[in-house]
Amino acid sequence: MRSLYKRQLAMMLGIVVISFTLLSAAFMLLSYRYIIGATRDSVERNAGYISTFTASYYRQYLTLDVQDDFYNSYVASIARISDSYIIVARTDGEILCATDGSHFYTYENNYLPEGVVRTVLDQGQYSGMTNLGGIYPERRYMVALPVTTTLGQLSVAQGMVLVAGDASSLSEMWSATATIFFFSAVVVLLISVVASTLTSAYQARPLNEMAEAARKFGQGDFDVRVTGYEGRCDEISTLAEAFNAMASSLEKVESQRSEFIANVSHELKTPMTTIAGFAEGILDGTIPPERQKESLEIIVSETRRLSRLVRRMLDLSRLKALSETAVTAQETFDLTEVMSRVIASLESKITSRKLDVDVQMPDEKLLVWGDPDSVTQVCYNLLDNAAKFAAPDSTITIHIAKKDGKAVTSIRNLGATIPSDELPLLFDRFHKADSSRSMDREGVGLGLYIVKTILGNLKENISVTSEDGVTQFTFTLTLA
């Protein structure tokens, strides 16, 4: 597996190498063009001077036997000033004179390359890099011009002048530049290695910590957190924050799962133990015949309780699946009609507990957005809960009103005050405000949780207050 350090080091070294290669190539090309251009201009200018002077010399002496001191001094001066090499030759290529300004060279029976001579005579000029067939030890930039005289309307070439620029300056510059680039590249590469090592360690440390924390999560330890990166203000700190948020969420989910299992086990164990105990008592004769009917009624009651628990859990699973896959389908319906039907369905229970219902809602239709079946279940659960815990001979108040584009519904009953520390827990699964779970033999602790889930799917809110024996649940729906 390639580590982050190796990847980053390879990337940085590649960038450095490519950058220096491109820079050196560009610099060499530009410097070459600049020096060649400057050399070409100087060589062409000097070649023109010497060609003109040599033509004048020929017209005066009618010969190219350039042994005259004045001529030699003139040519040597130009060669010395321009730091160039000058050759005077006949039209057949035989070299007559050669000098670098300090020395005169004798090239007896030496001839210029035929191609150079032919180009000068046919085209009137030759230029390019050449060593003249070995006359020069290295390639030099050369310009050759013919020495011409005019006879009437005819120009006749009497010889040729070749001026070569010294290329040693270009070689020295290239050598110096290559040395500078080489040492610069070595230094930058070393800096890149050090910087890559430090930055990779800086970036990889939190990733390694997160990987270790993830392994601990897999082993069931959800207390691990990645700390110390809050002040970085970069992607790593954002990732660490998101990782810790995920860890907290997983810890909460694990806690809820454990609590859910414990609650389900408790809710199932109690009625099942009761059913088994009374059934065994009837079978082995421990319970006398006159009490068997009462025992059977208890068995039936506990069986129905189990049925309600299973049904509520199935409803809860359906609501959770709906919230995870899609937004609940919404339509307009009359909230007052839904509440009226719920009140009618719970009439017998309300009457049996000698309760009164004070309904305060508009006489006309109150249209809202939502799922009518789900809202019916919300109203039923809240009203059923209010009737269950209301004090006998008290009044349940139902109030529906419009406020800020919402239909606000409140259901209030008079009974025991719920402690303030219990209020946030009322909407948790299997939570009951009773000190003993066995006191509420009808409930399974899922009603308010289902209410909260339904309203959450509808993007609505619900709240609860309990003071001086008055408990009130309030929820909202969006007006149509």
Of the ranges 32-36, 97-101, 106-110, 414-418, the best mean pLDDT one? 414-418
- Indicate which CATH number applies to the domain containing 32: 3.30.450.20
CA angle, 104 as apex, 103 and 106 as ends, to 5°? 140
The model's pTM: 0.44
Reported as a pLDDT band with limits 50, 70 and 90, residue 437 is very low
State the DSSP string of 361-401: --SS--EEEE-HHHHHHHHHHHHHHHHHHBPTT-EEEEEEE
Mean pLDDT confidence for 250-261: 74
Q: Is residue 65 part of a domain?
A: yes
From 171, 206, 241, the end of a domain falls on 171
pLDDT tops 60 at residue 325: no
Mean pLDDT confidence for 408-433: 84
Mean pLDDT confidence for 119-126: 91
Q: Is residue 231 part of a domain?
A: no
Reported as a pLDDT band with limits 50, 70 and 90, residue 102 is confident
Q: Residue 312: which of 197, 188, 202, 453 has the closest Cα?
A: 453
From 124, 156, 171, the end of a domain falls on 171
Residue 439: the pLDDT is: 41
Residue with tokens 């190796």: 6
Q: Which of 136-145, 197-206, 450-459 has the lowest mean pLDDT?
A: 197-206
Q: Is residue 317 part of a domain?
A: no
Burial of 86 (0-12, 13-18, 19+ CB in 10 A): buried
Residue 119: the pLDDT is: 92
Contacts of 245 (CB under 8 A, 6+ apart): none
Residue 358: the pLDDT is: 94
Distance, CA of 75 to CA of 404 (rounded, Å)? 105
pLDDT per position as a tens digit, 272-316: 877 888 888 888 888 888 888 888 888 887 787 778 777 766 766
Residue with tokens 């006191």: 439
Per the structure, the count of domains in the chain is: 2
Q: Is residue 456 part of a domain?
A: yes
Q: Is residue 297 part of a domain?
A: no
Q: Is residue 403 part of a domain?
A: yes
Buried-exposed string 222-253: b where 16+ CB fall within 10 A, e elsewhere: bebebeebeeeeeebbeebeebbeebeeebee
From 155, 171, 187, the end of a domain falls on 171
* Mean pLDDT value across the chain: 81
Residue 35: the pLDDT is: 66
Q: Which structural domain range is residue 463 located in?
A: 328-478
Look up residue 133 and give its DSSP letter.
Answer: G
- Indicate which CATH number applies to the domain containing 368: 3.30.565.10
Q: Is residue 200 part of a domain?
A: no
- Measured CA distances, 245 to 82, 216, 242, 398 (Å): 78, 16, 5, 40
Q: Is residue 322 part of a domain?
A: no
Reported as a pLDDT band with limits 50, 70 and 90, residue 387 is very high
Mean pLDDT confidence for 166-195: 74
Residue 435: the pLDDT is: 42
